[in-house]
Amino acid sequence: MDAMTPRERFVASMTFKPVDRCFLKPSNFSPLTIKRWEKEGLPSGLDPNIYFGMDPREFIRVNMECCPGLPEKIIETDDEYVTKTNSEGITLKQLKSDTLSAMPHFVDWPIKCRDDFKRIKDQYQASVKERYPKDYEEKVDFWNNRCTAPVVYEFRGMFFHRLRMWMGLEGLSMAMYDDPGWIHEMVDFLEDFLVKVSAKVLSEVKLSYVYACDDIAYKNASLISPKQFYEFFFEPTRRMVRKVHDAGVPVIVMDSDGNLDEFAQIYLDAGFNTICPIEVAAGNDLIAMRKRFGKKLALQGGFDKRILTMGKDAITKEVMRLYPRMMSEGGFTPEIDHAVPENVSFENYRHYQEITRKIAENPVHHTIK
Range from 96-105, 288-297, 314-323, 334-343 carrying the lowest mean pLDDT: 96-105
Whether the per-residue pLDDT at 172 is higher than 90: the answer is yes
Same domain, 89 and 196: no
Q: How far apart are CA 152 and CA 116, in angstroms?
A: 33
27-39 pLDDT, tens digit per residue, is: 989 888 999 999 9
Contacts of 46 (CB under 8 A, 6+ apart): none
131 and 91 fall within a common domain: no
Same domain, 103 and 149: no
Q: Is 21 in the same domain as 162?
A: yes
Question: Which pLDDT belongs to residue 233?
Answer: 97
Q: Confidence class of residue 157 from pLDDT cuts 50, 70 and 90? A: confident
For the domain that residue 31 is a member of, what is the CATH number? 3.20.20.210
Say which residue, 156 or 349, is predicted with more confidence. Answer: 349
For residue 46, CA distances in Å to 36, 233, 285, 348 come to 13, 41, 32, 18
* Residue 368, pLDDT above cutoff 60: no
Question: Is the pLDDT assigned to residue 174 strictly greater than 60?
Answer: yes
Helix (H) / strand (E) containing 366? helix 363-366
* Shared-domain flag, residues 104 and 27: no
pLDDT tier, 95 (very low <50, low <70, confident <90, very high otherwise): confident
Q: How many CA atoms lie within 13 A of 117 on its CB side?
A: 18
Whether residue 1 is contained in a domain is answered as no
Note the pLDDT of residue 102.
65
Regarding whether 94 and 183 lie in a shared domain, the answer is no
pLDDT in tens, 40-67: 999 999 999 999 999 999 999 999 999 9
Same domain, 87 and 177: no
The residue count for the chain = 369
Q: Which of 80, 109, 138 is the last residue of a domain?
A: 109
Task: Give residue 247's identity as a one-letter amino acid code.
Answer: A
The answer, yes or no, to whether residue 361 has pLDDT greater than 80, is yes
Total tally of structural domains belonging to the chain: 2
Q: What is the pLDDT of residue 101?
A: 58
- Stretch among 154-158, 199-203, 264-268 having the lowest mean pLDDT: 154-158
Average pLDDT, the chain: 93
Mean pLDDT, to the nearest integer, of 216-227? 92
Distance (Å) of CA 232 to CA 41, 98, 109, 150, 165: 50, 35, 20, 33, 16
